Structures are given as C-alpha cells and as structure tokens.
C-alpha cells in the first residue's frame, strides 16, 4: 500500500520547524472557533469519559469476574471503532459535521454511563462497543473539519496541536478517573465521568 502511494508535493512556502512555527499555529487557532471546538470536544470526552485505567478494578470489584476478561474490555473498544471504520465511506454525505460531532460525543458519554451501570460482562462490552463507535464517528468528523478549515501551509502545525490533544486527553482522563475512584468508588467515577462528558 505504501509503495502504491503517490508522493505528496510540498507547498510553495515551507517554513523551518521550531518554536516560531508552533506559535504561528497557536495564533492561527486562536481565531478559529470551529477548530477550537473540535479540540475542546475531544478533550472533554477523554478527560471526563475515559475510564480505561479503571477496567481492571471494574472487572474485579464491580463485575466480580476473573481478571482474565479485562482484555475483552479493550477489545470491545477496538471492535466498536473498527465497525464504524468499515462503513465510514458514508460519512462524506453528512453536511452538519459539527452537530454530528457533538451528538457523537454525547453518545460516547451515554455509552460510558451505560458501561458504568452494567451488571454483567456482556452488557459492559456492548456499551463499550457503542461508546467506542461513537468516539470513532466524532474522530472522523473532527479530522474532516480540521483538514477542511485549515489551509495547506498551516496543516502540519494544526495536526501537531491535534496530536498533542489526542496524546494528552487519555492520560488526563485516566488520572481523573483513578483519583475520583480512589475517593468515591469505581462505579461512581465511571458514571459521573460519562455524565460530565454529556453535560
């Protein structure tokens, strides 16, 4: 597949990488509410609604299941994303991408709430698949918005900011979920995170 790809020609003006280009990217982002919204939506979903760090505790303390099934929770996330990716070609027909992104984020939060309330492994896996599928929909449209709104010469800078958001959000979310669970409980941390994401 890589060998069959055509080379992507550089833009006419190619700035050298450095602090000044990072500042330019942030300055460009400052005036773009649409792009800021996509980053904030992703941070919101990951910081409040990502309880991955609690999966082992959820399996043992809430479901009272064998630790051997923890891997199924991670797999359910992957399967939900894969199913959406397989039908993602239909995404091009959606006109109100921002609205769909918001709805998908709400569905992600609702899926996490359902996961938190689950009383059996299969219900938990189903809600994780639905949540992950919603997150994939959100990701598709956030990426489409980023590439559509950003001019070619700024795309690398904005992709860098996007990578920082995607790399930071899950770590902050796991820290938030773990800290809250340590003072309240595993189920409360998961459910309240999903509710906070929706709100």
> CA-CA distance, 118 to 111, in Å (whole number)?
10
Residue whose structure tokens are 């990426």? 143
> CA-CA distance, 197 to 138, in Å (whole number)?
13
Mind listing the pLDDT tens digit of every residue in the chain (199 residues)? Answer: 888 988 877 665 665 666 777 777 788 888 788 888 888 888 888 999 889 999 999 999 999 899 889 999 999 989 999 998 898 877 777 778 888 889 999 999 999 999 999 999 999 999 999 999 999 998 888 888 888 888 887 877 888 888 888 888 889 999 999 999 999 999 999 999 999 999 9
Is 21 strand, coil or helix? helix
> CA-CA distance, 20 to 8, in Å (whole number)?
24
Q: What is the pLDDT of residue 134?
A: 93
Among 6, 8, 32, smallest CA distance to 154 is for 32
Q: What is the pLDDT of residue 11?
A: 60
Q: What is the pLDDT of residue 89?
A: 78
């Amino acid at each position: 597949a890589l060998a069959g790809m055509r080379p992507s020609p550089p833009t006419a003006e190619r700035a050298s990488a450095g602090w000044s280009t990072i500042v330019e990217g942030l300055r460009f982002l400052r005036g773009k509410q649409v792009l800021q919204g996509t980053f904030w939506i992703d941070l919101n979903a990951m910081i409040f609604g990502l309880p991955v760090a609690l999966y082992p505790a959820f399996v043992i303390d809430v479901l009272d299941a064998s630790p051997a099934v923890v891997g199924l929770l991670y797999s359910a996330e992957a399967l939900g994303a894969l199913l959406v990716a397989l039908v993602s070609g239909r995404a091009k027909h959606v006109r109100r991408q921002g609205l769909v992104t918001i709805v998908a984020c709400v569905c992600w939060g609702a899926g996490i709430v359902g996961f938190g309330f689950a009383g059996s492994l299969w219900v938990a896996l189903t809600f994780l698949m639905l949540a992950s599928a919603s997150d994939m929909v959100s990701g598709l449209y956030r990426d489409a918005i980023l590439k559509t709104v950003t001019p070619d010469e700024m795309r690398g800078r904005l992709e860098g900011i996007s990578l920082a958001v995607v790399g930071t959000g899950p770590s902050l979310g796991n820290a938030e979920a773990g800290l809250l669970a340590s003072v309240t409980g595993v189920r409360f941390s998961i459910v309240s995170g999903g509710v906070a994401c929706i709100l």
